[in-house]
Amino acid sequence: MTPAGRLALAAEARANVTRVIGLLQWPTAAALDRSAGELVAAIAGMQELHVEFARNPAACASKGIIAALRKDLQRAGMLLRHAWELRAGLGGPLGYTRKGEWVPQAQRQTRWALEA
């Protein structure tokens, strides 16, 4: 495989992960299903790239894209965990941080006093 082929393969895998991130911004059941398909395609491309690097470990221009791909995969993993918690109802109410990430919010408790 040529260096241009490696670069195209890495760019395609990153595009798949970017679509996954977009889908997981609004984690509906359909979005989770579609994101699984995109992740399968991204993983297949990354495995092919890994095999190619193992076969011919020459340096190429795709290293920058691979570093960005790793960062995108970390973000997709975080969004996937949050989506699962949201769908499973485990995390309680969620809110956004200043960075735009979902975090569990403290549940507000109200005490009622009944007088007879």
**Pair of tokens at residue 20:** 């996954």
- Max Cα distance, the chain (Å): 83
Which amino acid is located at 105 in the chain?
Answer: Q
Q: pTM of this prediction?
A: 0.65
At CB < 8 A and 24+ separation, what contacts does 69-76 make? 69/10, 69/13, 69/14, 69/17, 72/14, 72/17, 72/18, 72/21, 73/17, 75/21, 76/17, 76/20, 76/21, 76/24, 76/35, 76/39
Please report, in tens digits, the pLDDT of each residue of the chain (116 residues total): 777 888 888 889 889 999 988 888 877 778 888 888 888 888 888 888 888 878 877 666 667 888 888 899 888 888 888 777 766 665 556 666 777 676 666 665 666 767 76
